[in-house]
Amino acid sequence: MKPYNDVIQGTAQQVMAELAYVPPGEHVRVIIGRPSLSLIARRLQATAAANGMTDDAHDELLKSLKQELK
């Protein structure tokens, strides 16, 4: 069976309704509230590294994104 891979966001009621479609044995990760940008950046870097992106390439990507936001 293919793993369920999606982002679900909304009110608690909306999220619970969407979770009804997730297979019962599927592992899920939940973030409540709005995580800080530094927390998001660390998680993205860990995911990128797990998929083969080097720290240097990740740093360059973040620098380019910051420049676009200015």
Whether 2 is in a domain gets the answer no
Residue 63 forms part of a structural domain: yes
Answer yes or no: pTM beyond 0.75.
no
Does residue 4 lie in a domain region? Answer: no
Q: Is residue 56 a part of any domain in this protein?
A: yes
Residue pair 50/56 in contact (Cβ under 8 Å)? The answer is no
DSSP character at residue 36: -
* pLDDT single digits (tens) 9-60: 788 999 999 999 888 888 888 877 776 777 777 787 788 788 888 878 878 8
Q: How many domains does the chain have?
A: 1
